[in-house]
Amino acid sequence: MAAVEQIGRAGRAAPHPFWTVGRLRVAALVVIFALWEIAGASGLFYRGVLPSSYLVVWALLGLLTSLDFWFHAGVTGLEVLVAFVLGCSAGALAGLMLGANRYVGAVLEPFLHYLAPTPKIVFLPILLILFGVGMGSKIALGAISSFFPMALGVAAGVRQVNPVLLRVGRTFSLSRFQMVRMIYLPALVPSLATGLRIGLGISIVGCLMSEIKLSRMGLGFSAMEYYRVFDIPSMLAVLIFIFFCAALGNVAIDKFVRLPGPHDRQKRKWSGFTRRFT
Amino acid sequence: MTIPTLRLTNVAKTFTTGGGSVRALEPISLDIRQGEFISVIGPSGCGKSTLMNIVGGLIDDYEGEVQVDGVPVRGCHKSIGMVFQEESTFPWRTALDNVAFPMEALGVEREERLSRARDLLKLVGLDGFEQRFPSELSGGMRQRIAIARTLAFQPRILLMDEPFAALDEQTRLLLGDKVLQIQQELSQTTMLITHNIAEAVQLSDRVLIMSFRPGRIKRVLEIDLPRPRSSKMMGGERFGHYVAAIWEDLREEASKGLQEMERLRAGV
């Protein structure tokens, strides 16, 4: 969010008074759409690989009005939600312990560190055996995926809490519980927010990947089904829907997980958002 | 006979590290009476911060004894409040909530702690800035919030570890005036660690001059200047006399410290 704000601020001193940041963003979207249409109509691609955008919009409308689609969306949504909650809370707890105890951290963190960037999809065969082909294995993969960034982020966050603030807490005779509630937790909010944001993205990846590999339901499954019957507009529509939901999730995290600060005073919200476009 | 507010009896400290041990503080004994303002001044590495951390309870494996109102204390204690040299305000709390912090920890009711925090902000000259966050204020204002926050703890003894070290000279002088005013209004017993001679003279009833490592009290100087004081006294003849007297003692120690530092840097 802060980065977006930064770009916005820099853009206000744009070289040309007409091309404000908002207008340029709209223009960028228009250009991308136009390139898509031109490429699709040019005949350079195999027929149907790049369908015209209105076909995709049509397919999307078709999906949004079908019960079947909402069933698959619900399955994936539930998987992602459970995986995200399980993985992130386990990750946050593990991170707190790793950060709070230097020995535990020194022993275990290298493992986490080198395991974190390996693709978790390699665990899928084991998870299929353990939890079956249904939602269980998808949830497990999503949870394992989101566990790592959260654990590492929170562990680093605990160690980076300003030591002066901890000394202040000690001189005010804070209890252990008060130290956690009044100093550690607020100080950890930025690492928690980052962990949640990465965790959400990566648990979506985990769930969808395993759906695409082997499943009978979910959005990953329907995308693959549309691919199999070469219904590219519907396949793209599913992907656009997924993309949109993930973006919404990120916006929600940005909005709800943050520290109070001077930005609270600038009540921009939607009115300001629309104003920037007009 | 009155019991001193703070009494140190043979307080000493040796740091043991992997390689060996360093004597940081030779036994120090000292009485501070109610309402007195004491400054501890000395070169870098004289153990003045160690002394402060012992009194404040952040170091608790030391020799000797610390008494508050005749009662021995060890560890962090409700009767001692500290202000640190570093930036120490909570960035996620407004000025008002920062000052209310210790009262929140003590379980003071919301209405009462906010109204007391408001009074304290006014005392340090920050009325009108209650709802500002630290990032919106200057370094001097943030340090005043830290002072008000420690005062909200209502300590018997206020310890300040070079609270103005990170500030520019002019802000430092003006803040010194503020501290004087607070000390007069609350008759707050205060112990200040500093390396600024003029600051020590401006504020203190007594100045403790410490020697270079191992730290011990080299001399105690009574500052017999009339109160109420302010930074305007700095041009006075007696003020200059005290500054010169302190520098006389300090010069030798400071140059020892400097030589030691240079030797360390050269790796000899």
The whole-angstrom distance between residue B170's C-alpha and the CA centroid of its chain comes to: 19
Answer for the pair A178, A203: CB distance below 8 angstroms, yes or no.
no
Residue A277 pLDDT > 50: no
pLDDT cut 70: percent of chain B above it: 99
Asked if A168's CB is within 8 angstroms of B84's CB, the reply is yes
**Chain A touched by B247 (CB under 8 Å):** no
Query: What average pLDDT does the segment B235-244 reach?
Result: 82
Please give the order of strands across the beta sheet that includes B37-41.
B80-83, B157-161, B189-194, B37-41, B206-210, B217-222
Angstrom distance (rounded) from CA B87 to CA B107: 25
Beta-carbon count within 10 A of A138 CB? 35
Radius of gyration, alpha carbons of chain B: 19
Q: Do B263 and B229 sit in the same domain of this protein?
A: yes
Q: Do B162 and B128 sit in the same domain of this protein?
A: no
Query: What average pLDDT does the segment B203-216 reach?
Result: 84
Predicted confidence at residue A3, as pLDDT, reads 47
Predicted confidence at residue A177, as pLDDT, reads 87
Q: Do B216 and B250 sit in the same domain of this protein?
A: yes
Q: B37 φ, ψ to 5°?
A: -115, 115
Closest CA to A194 of A146, A232, A226: A146
In a domain, B220, yes or no: yes
Q: B13 φ, ψ to 5°?
A: -150, 130
Higher pLDDT, A278 or B11: B11
Interface of A with B (CB under 8 A): 164-165, 167-168, 170-174, 178, 182-183, 186-187, 189, 259-262
What Å distances lie between residue B233 and B182, B191, B201, CA to CA? Answer: 18, 21, 10
Residue B226 pLDDT > 80: no
Answer for the pair A94, A100: CB distance below 8 angstroms, yes or no.
no
Angstrom distance (rounded) from CA A187 to CA A180: 10
SS3 category, A208: helix
**Mind telling me how many Å the CA of A268 is from chain B's nearest CA?**
18
Q: Can you give the three-state secondary structure of chain B, one letter per residue?
A: CCCCCEEEEEEEEEEECCCCEEEEEEEEEEEECCCCEEEEECCCCCCHHHHHHHHHCCCCCCEEEEEECCEEECCCCCCEEEECCCCCCCCCCCHHHHHHHHHHHHCCCHHHHHHHHHHHHHHCCCCCCCCCCHHHCCHHHHHHHHHHHHHHCCCCEEEEECCCCCCCHHHHHHHHHHHHHHHHHHCCEEEEEECCHHHHHHHCCEEEEECCCCECEEEEEECCCCCCCCHHHHHCHHHHHHHHHHHHHHHHHHHHHHHHHHHHHHCC
What is the chain B residue with the closest CA to A186? B92
The predicted-structure confidence for B247-260, as pLDDT tens digits, reads as follows 888 888 777 777 87
Query: What average pLDDT does the segment A145-157 reach?
Result: 92
In a domain, B144, yes or no: yes
Query: Which residue is it, tokens 């009767």?
Result: B79
**Fold (topology level) of A52-259:** MetI-like fold (1.10.3720)
Last residue of a domain, one of B129, B154, B179: B154
Closest CA to A200 of A259, A145, A157: A145
Q: Do B67 and B148 sit in the same domain of this protein?
A: no
Cβ-in-10-Å burial (0-12, 13-18, 19+) of A175 comes to exposed
Q: Do B147 and B160 sit in the same domain of this protein?
A: no
Residues of A in contact with B90 (CB under 8 A): 165, 183, 186
Residue B189 pairs with which residues in a beta bridge?
Answer: B157
The closest CB to that of A178, out of B91, B105, B132, belongs to B105
Residue A6 pLDDT > 70: no
Query: What average pLDDT does the segment B205-220 reach?
Result: 84
Asked if A260's CB is within 8 angstroms of B57's CB, the reply is no
The pLDDT mean for chain A works out to 85
Residues of B in contact with A186 (CB under 8 A): 90, 92
What Å distances lie between residue A87 and A29, A130, A252, CA to CA? Answer: 35, 17, 18
The closest CB to that of A262, out of B58, B90, B133, belongs to B133
Predicted confidence at residue B183, as pLDDT, reads 82
Residues of B in contact with A167 (CB under 8 A): 58, 82, 84, 88
CATH of the domain at B230: 3.40.50.300
The closest CB to that of B105, out of A165, A182, A186, belongs to A182
Question: Predicted confidence band at A132 (pLDDT cuts at 50, 70, 90)?
Answer: confident
Residues of A in contact with B133 (CB under 8 A): 260-262
Residue A84 pairs with which residues in a beta bridge?
Answer: none
The pLDDT mean for chain B works out to 84
Q: Do B163 and B68 sit in the same domain of this protein?
A: yes
What Å distances lie between residue A197 and A113, A156, A160, A202, B128, CA to CA? Answer: 19, 16, 20, 9, 37
Last residue of a domain, one of B118, B133, B154: B154
Residue A2 pLDDT > 50: no
Q: Do B219 and B238 sit in the same domain of this protein?
A: yes
The predicted-structure confidence for A168-184, as pLDDT tens digits, reads as follows 999 998 888 888 889 99
Per-range mean pLDDT, top range of A18-32, A106-120, A142-156: A142-156
Q: Do B120 and B182 sit in the same domain of this protein?
A: no
Angstrom distance (rounded) from CA B161 to CA B85: 5
Asked if A168's CB is within 8 angstroms of B105's CB, the reply is no
Asked if B86's CB is within 8 angstroms of A173's CB, the reply is no
Interface test mutation site (partner A, options B68, B73, B80, B86, max chain A beta carbons within 10 A): B86
A260 secondary structure, DSSP code:
-
The token pair that represents A126 in the structure block: 């084991």
Query: Which residue is it, tokens 């300003």?
Result: A162
Calculate the dihedral angle through the C-alpha atoms of B137, B140, B144, B146, rounding to the nearest 10 degrees.
80
In a domain, B84, yes or no: no
The token pair that represents B17 in the structure block: 């590290």
Last residue of a domain, one of B154, B183, B206: B154
Asked if A173's CB is within 8 angstroms of B88's CB, the reply is no
What is the chain A residue with the closest CA to B54? A171
Angstrom distance (rounded) from CA B41 to CA B197: 7
Domain with B73 in it: 1-25+33-79+156-268
Residues of B in contact with A262 (CB under 8 A): 132-133, 135-136
Residues of A in contact with B86 (CB under 8 A): 164
Q: Do B119 and B239 sit in the same domain of this protein?
A: no
Interface test mutation site (partner B, options A164, A167, A171, A181, max chain B beta carbons within 10 A): A171
The predicted-structure confidence for B76-95, as pLDDT tens digits, reads as follows 888 889 999 888 999 999 99
Q: Do B137 and B103 sit in the same domain of this protein?
A: yes
What are the boundaries of each domain within chain A?
1-12+20-40, 52-259
The predicted-structure confidence for B88-138, as pLDDT tens digits, reads as follows 999 999 999 999 999 998 888 899 899 999 988 888 888 889 888 998 888
B24 contact partners, CB below 8 Å, separation of at least 6 = B13, B14, B15, B47, B50, B213, B214, B215
Q: Do B113 and B148 sit in the same domain of this protein?
A: yes
Beta-carbon count within 10 A of B3 CB? 13
Residue A90 pLDDT > 90: yes
Angstrom distance (rounded) from CA A82 to CA A121: 18
Q: Do B242 and B116 sit in the same domain of this protein?
A: no
Question: How many distinct structural domains can be found in chain B?
Answer: 2
In a domain, B249, yes or no: yes
Closest CA to B29 of B3, B60, B63, B59: B63
Higher pLDDT, A5 or A208: A208
Beta-carbon count within 10 A of B162 CB? 19
The predicted-structure confidence for A217-272, as pLDDT tens digits, reads as follows 999 999 999 999 988 999 999 999 999 999 999 888 888 887 777 776 655 444 44
**Chain A touched by B153 (CB under 8 Å):** yes
